[in-house]
Amino acid sequence: MGECVAKLFKESSTHTTCSWKGQANYYTIVVNGKENKDAAWYYPSTKEKAKPIEGYVAFRGGVKVEV
């Protein structure tokens, strides 16, 4: 994650557990002073079957990502 983008993400205290992926950690996204709570999540360390998604960030509906 680039430094500019990382400034938009605030670690959340929310964590969920999937039986086949493992524990997900969440971010609250802050843009122009507005918070979108738990709008992004990632699996820092997955179970074996989910290794292809390890470390990637996912976004819930309503989050617009531009490159």
Q: 14-60: per-residue pLDDT in tens?
A: 999 999 999 999 999 998 999 999 999 999 999 999 999 999 999 99
Where along the chain do its domains lie? Answer: 3-59
Per-residue pLDDT band at 3 (split at 50, 70, 90): low
3-59: CATH topology is 2.170.150
Amino acid identity, position 35: E
Q: Taking 80 as the threshold, does the pLDDT of residue 5 lie above it?
A: no
Q: By C-alpha distance, which of 53, 66, 60 is closest to 14?
A: 60
DSSP state at residue 7: T
Residue predicted with more confidence, 1 or 20: 20
**CB–CB of 50/28 below 8 Å?**
no
Hey, how many other C-beta atoms are within 10 angstroms of the C-beta on 46?
20
What pLDDT, on the 0 to 100 scale, is given for residue 2?
62
* Spatial distance between the Cα atoms of 32 and 51, rounded to a whole number of angstroms: 34
What pLDDT, on the 0 to 100 scale, is given for residue 4?
62
